[in-house]
Structure 1
Amino acid sequence: MTSQLESAMEGLIKVFHSYSSKEGDKYKLSKAEMKSLLQGELSEFLAGSSDPLVVEKIMRDLDENQDGEVDFQEFVVLVAALTVACNEFFIQSQLK
């Protein structure tokens, strides 16, 4: 039986590769693939931003090796940062 954490990890991997395999290097997200992933999987987070360049800024921040693409390791940094932010929000809402 798979644990919740194992299922979550598998889900992250599957989501990444379902978007990264659409064009170019199938193991990296192009800017277009990253935008599609953010719109398809994290639309609530994007909706909270009024910045029209939010995808470009996220891409620039994640692309540590400056190759114009986001690999799985760089993608996990985004997921971890968003998860930490959600946890902090959860804790703050519990204190009220």
Structure 2
Amino acid sequence: MLSQMEHTLENMMFTFHEFAGDKGYLTKENLRVLMEKEFPGFLENQKDPPAVDKIMKDLDLCLDGKVGFQSCFLLPQGSPSHAMTISCNDYFVIHMKQKGKT
């Protein structure tokens, strides 16, 4: 049986490959669709419309218009993309408080 962290990592891997497809990398459009489906609250709350452009720039380490598997894992931690993790945590804390769980 997988631990919660193992299950989370497995989900991240499956999600990446779901959006990357057989080519094995995300294009800017793939990244936009992934963000819209997997992080809708983050994008909806952005005051900066080109947020996906900035995230793509942060993750496209080879400057080839592609985000590979390893780079994709920088999404929740990379700077300034780490703002996504902070925003998601803030949203989570507010949501949990509204449900009376914290």
TM bucket, shorter chain: 0.7 to 0.9
User: How many Å separate the matches in 2 of 1:61 and 1:50?
Assistant: 18
Question: Which residue identity does 1:13 align to in structure 2?
Answer: M
Is 1:38 matched with 2:41? no
TM-score w.r.t. length of structure 1: 0.79
Where does residue 60 of structure 2 map in the other structure? Answer: 63
Please state how far the C-alpha of 1:87 moved relative to its aligned partner. 8.6
Unaligned runs of 5+ in 2: 94-102
User: How many Å separate the matches in 2 of 1:88 and 1:32?
Assistant: 25
TM-score w.r.t. length of structure 2: 0.75
Contact kept? 1:17, 1:26, Cα under 8 Å: no
Unaligned runs of 5+ in 1: 91-96
Structure showing the higher helix proportion among its residues: 1
- What is the percentage of aligned positions where both structures have the same residue? 36
Pairing 1:14-93 to 2, within 5 Å after superposition: 14-21=14-21, 26-80=23-77, 81=82, 82-83=84-85, 85=86, 89=90
